[in-house]
Amino acid sequence: MNNFIFENSTKVYFGKGCVKEYLACKLKNYQTIMLAYGGGSIKRNGIYDEIMTILEKENKDVIEFGGIPSNPTYAKVLEGARLAKENGADIILGVGGGSVMDCCKAISLAAVYDGDVWTDFWQRPGCISFEPLPLGVIVTVSGTGSEMNGGAVITNEETKIKTGRDYPACNPNFALMDPEYTFSVPKLQTASGGFDTLSHIMEIYFSEPDENNVSDDIAEAVMKSVIRNLPAALKDPADYTARSNLMWAATMAENRVIKLGKKTDFEAHQIEHQLGAYTDCNHGCGLAVIQPTYYRHIYKDGLKKFVRFAANVWKIPPRGKTDEELALAGINALEDFIKEIGLPKTLRELGIEDKGILPEIAQSCNISPGSYRQLTHEEILEILKESY
């Protein structure tokens, strides 16, 4: 294994009824709560009422900050930070999925920082030498794993840059995760969130070192769990076993554990981020379109791992196949799975009507050092065109 440093400060409360059981206790040292959420689904499914009942019973002062969009924007971060400052929020309570949690992390910095957080912490990596505003989260959509890391992906609409950073200081203080809260998540979002989890694991798995490695072993275990439980949750949205496994798998994919001793790359995410910045497409759907094509471009450079992926994750019998055939069979199995869970397979299905936008998107992509091979902007354009 490569050298690593590991820490994770988030305290997780997981399971049925955890919000009712622990929220009041977690907020006991705070009076003014900024309640942040997304498009309002929590008002329809009863989660908002459940939380408000607790906050009212505890006589908290509540500042509401709703309407956080998917692909949260820097403008929204600044709006939230202003609100938190003006009202003297003691803590942010983010209720939602990755977009809400990411936006809240950026707000937790912007609410106490005098400079421009985009420039100092997202445009380039920065050093956080101050205490962010405390943050707690209640997860209602699983997939991004944002609940147990310091990562936040923010879109700057002006410069059309969507980028993520992971600052341990931004880890939520606590995360309340009730799998029943995800029962009402619509099918497409369930599939997209589950695929986002799978995508995170693949981005980490397909990178060096390739020698035997506990982290890769764990990565395979968590992938297999997602592949088993995602179709089950799509079939029966109230399947507690499936929902609880998906929820915890999402966290395990992004709480740094499976990255330990490994390089990471996230090139498919880099490409999808720019797709999102230009088209506001759904994140998991964008990844589903890009990832198989991307892997067909790089699999020869990481052949051994792609063979292992086919054999261990998809259980494809190796007999009679060359390594290349086996590797490709694994990527095909991934594509079949994407089809099975009902996600789009092309950029056109994703709703991108103008192919002419692709060169600009390709050119804007950040190029990471490369898991098995560093891409060029030209090759990213090829990948986008092949995915169209």
**Would you call 227 helix, strand, or coil by DSSP?**
helix
Query: Which residues lie closer than 8 Å to 86 by C-beta, 6 or more apart?
Result: none
**Which of these, 219, 304, 206, 208, lies nearest to 254 by C-alpha position?**
219
Using CB under 8 A as the binding rule, whether residue 339 contacts a copy of itself is answered as: no
φ, ψ for residue 165 (rounded to 5)?
-135, 150
In the bound state with a copy of itself, the residue whose beta carbon lies nearer, of 106 and 198, is 198
DSSP conformation class of 280 = -
Torsion of CA 163, 167, 170, 176, to 10 degrees: 90
Q: Which of 228, 235, 304, 348 binds a copy of itself (CB under 8 A)?
A: 228
Among 78, 83, 257, 357, binds a copy of itself (CB under 8 A): 257
Token pair for 196? 């986002």
Q: Is 231 in the site for a copy of itself (CB under 8 A)?
A: no
By CB under 8 A, the residues from 135 to 194 that bind a copy of itself are 179
Q: How many residues bind a copy of itself (CB under 8 A)?
A: 42
Count of beta carbons in the 10 Å neighbourhood of residue 127: 9
DSSP 78-123: HHHHHHHHHTT-SEEEEEESHHHHHHHHHHHHHTT-SS-HIIIIII
Residue among 15 and 359 whose Cβ is closer to a copy of itself? 15
Among 66, 69, 134, 261, binds a copy of itself (CB under 8 A): 261
Stretch that binds a copy of itself, among 6-14, 57-65, 200-208, 380-388 (CB under 8 A): 6-14
Among 34, 106, 153, 222, binds a copy of itself (CB under 8 A): 222
Nearer to a copy of itself, 11 or 373 (CB): 11
- The correct pick among 41, 244, 279, 282 for binding a copy of itself (CB under 8 A) is 244
By CB under 8 A, what part of segment 108-137 binds a copy of itself?
Answer: none
Among 25, 75, 214, 238, interactor with a copy of itself by CB under 8 A: 214
> Is 54 buried (19+), middle (13-18) or exposed (0-12) by CB count in 10 A?
middle
**Which of 102, 203, 220, 254 touches a copy of itself (CB under 8 A)?**
220
